[in-house]
Amino acid sequence: MGPISDEASTGNILIVDDHQVVLSGTIDILRQHYPTYELLTAKTSQEALEKFANYPLDLAILDLSIPEVLHQDAKVETGIELLRQVMKHYPEQNIAIQSTYIKALVRVRSEIDSHQGGFTIVDKSMSSQDIFQRVDGALKGFSHTRGIKALQAGIELKPEWLDVLTLAFHEGLQDKAIAQELNVQPSTIRHYWNKLYDVLEIDPELDKKEGKNLRSLTEIRARERGLLD
């Protein structure tokens, strides 16, 4: 949903987080400031999508490291995929990202820029007052994404480049297998690697001369920039 008026005093807020302590703390903050709102919770991506489908939500507060279903490990890529789906299917939804993995938002920067609802970023280390201010901003339809812009300075990414990183370092695939997975020629994968080297400020020739392993260096730089978990 888009901006709401100051007169609006009731509605639904969804909090998605698999840590009960964080969930309870967020609920306490929200109850102080929004006593008439219905507070809904979800601990998995699957449960969150069910809430989106069944309730009109004035605000969604999303952690990025969550499990897809119960009893699975929490992963940032799961939270990022949930965020993608929410922005795609609910383009005017007000969203506050509350996480310790803010860097990962660079992976969906273009989608965030196009999102029509409020969008703010809340680091879990913030004070209760700062958390409330960011959450309230999102609820009112405002955007606060300067942190992403700072992280992504100089980075222009295409989805297929991120696919290469994921398949190489999460799945452990080599170039030939990556090409088969993405249904492209191996030469295209080499082209993607070259683009990634540019983005990550890696000089293949110089680094090879200095005895550096390009794959290892790429992985390190990608993790530093938030492109890999």
* pLDDT tens-digit series, residues 43-61: 999 999 999 999 999 999 9
Find, among 26, 1, 25, 23, the residue nearest to 12 by Cα.
Answer: 1
* Strand 38-42 to 143-144 pairing: unpaired
Task: Kindly tell me if the per-residue pLDDT of 194 is higher than 80.
Answer: yes
Q: Is residue 1 part of a domain?
A: no
Find, among 70, 53, 58, 57, the residue nearest to 18 by Cα.
Answer: 70
Q: How far apart are CA 180 and CA 157, in angstroms?
A: 21
pLDDT in tens, 3-32: 444 444 689 999 999 999 999 999 999 999
Residues 84 and 17 in one domain: yes
The helix/strand/coil state of 68 is coil
**Residue range(s) defining the domain that contains residue 199:** 159-224
Residues 143 and 177 in one domain: no
Token pair of 76, please? 């940032």
How many residues in total does the chain contain? Answer: 229
Crossing angle between the packed helical segments 45-54 and 76-89, to the nearest 10 degrees: 20
Query: Are the C-beta atoms of 87 and 115 separated by less than 8 Å?
Result: yes
Task: Kindly tell me if the per-residue pLDDT of 153 is higher than 60.
Answer: no
Residues 134 and 176 in one domain: no
Using the structure block, give the residue that is written with the tokens 């007000």.
94
Q: Which of 151, 176, 209 is the last residue of a domain?
A: 151
Residues 132 and 212 in one domain: no
Find, among 12, 13, 79, the residue nearest to 46 by Cα.
Answer: 79
Residues 114 and 175 in one domain: no
Q: What is the mean pLDDT of the chain?
A: 86
Residues 117 and 171 in one domain: no
Helix (H) / strand (E) containing 178: helix 175-182
- Interval 203-228 mean pLDDT: 78
Query: Are the C-beta atoms of 88 and 109 separated by less than 8 Å?
Result: no
pTM of the model: 0.70
Residues 178 and 215 in one domain: yes
Look at residue 69 in the predicted model and tell me its pLDDT.
96
